[in-house]
Amino acid sequence: MKKIIIAIDGHSSCGKSTFAKAIAARLGYIFIDTGAMYRAVTLYALENGAIPSGVVDEERVVKMLRDIEIDFRFNAERGASDIYVNGDLVESKIRTIEVSNCVSAVSSIAEVRAKLVAMQQEMGRRRGVVMDGRDIGTVVFPDAELKIYMTADAMVRAERRYKELTAKGDKVTLEEIYENVVSRDKADMSRAISPLRKADDAIVLDNSNMSVEEQMAWFMKRYEEALAK
């Protein structure tokens, strides 16, 4: 059967990665979590002194790029891929609020985006991939056969993120998470390099009030339409 590239863009904490993973499992495609890649660079910068007191030192981050190698390895227990930086597993470390507060600033650095976009394009060269992020349908794969732009109400997204973090034992407040969601939206949409925007041919999915099953049913209809083209 013909394989295509599925590009999923959208706001933070609207379930893009979870949705993309489910699609990949359903279709037997490869899932590439681009957001995790930017978080991995952010984590490395935090751990190596390039973000002192929460302020990103762009020059130091750029110099560090040559020392960063990122790869994904399938985890049979999770049924999904884990992300590694220089051979170290960082899947859980990249999901902290500290990383969330800095990732938009790191992602806006031109050199960071250039390095990771090149890696992403190479990963998707053989097609049969599902990739989510902020600029997949506009920059990484502008010719993707199916583009989806995901969104949800900001408070709904904050509540989802809050439940995820507190379930892991993180000490955060809903207000703190909501402020982070709103600030990340503003940063992602206003940055000069590859801002978050809907591709002209992307299909909008607002999942504020949709179950996982409803989202998958919605997707399968669009997927079959894309294959028919």
Structure confidence by residue, pLDDT tens digits, 79-101: 777 899 999 999 999 999 999 99
Under CATH, which number does the domain 5-220 receive? Answer: 3.40.50.300
Rounded distance, CA 119 to CA 115, Å?
6
Alpha carbons within 13 A on the beta-carbon side of 103: 24
Which residues of the chain fall below pLDDT 70?
Answer: none
Q: Where are the domains of the chain?
A: 5-220
Tell how far CA 48 is from the center of its chain: 23
CB 46 within 8 A of CB 102: yes
Q: What is the pLDDT of residue 33?
A: 85
> Residues of 99-123 as b/e, b for ≥16 C-beta within 10 angstroms?
bbbbbbbbbbbeebbebbbebbeeb
Residue 7: predicted pLDDT: 96
Q: Strands of 70-75's sheet, edge to edge? A: 70-75, 80-85, 88-89
Cα torsion for 29, 158, 77, 103, to the nearest 10°?
70
Looking at residue 32, what is its pLDDT?
86
Residue 198 CB partners (closer than 8 Å, separation 6+): 9, 149, 204
pLDDT of residue 194: 79
Plot region of 90 (φ>0 → left; ψ -120 to 50 → alpha; else → beta): alpha
pLDDT score, position 126:
78
Backbone phi, psi, residue 31, to 5°? -100, 130
pTM: 0.75
Judged by phi (left if over 0) then psi (alpha if -120 to 50, else beta), residue 87 lies in left
pLDDT the model gives residue 191? 83
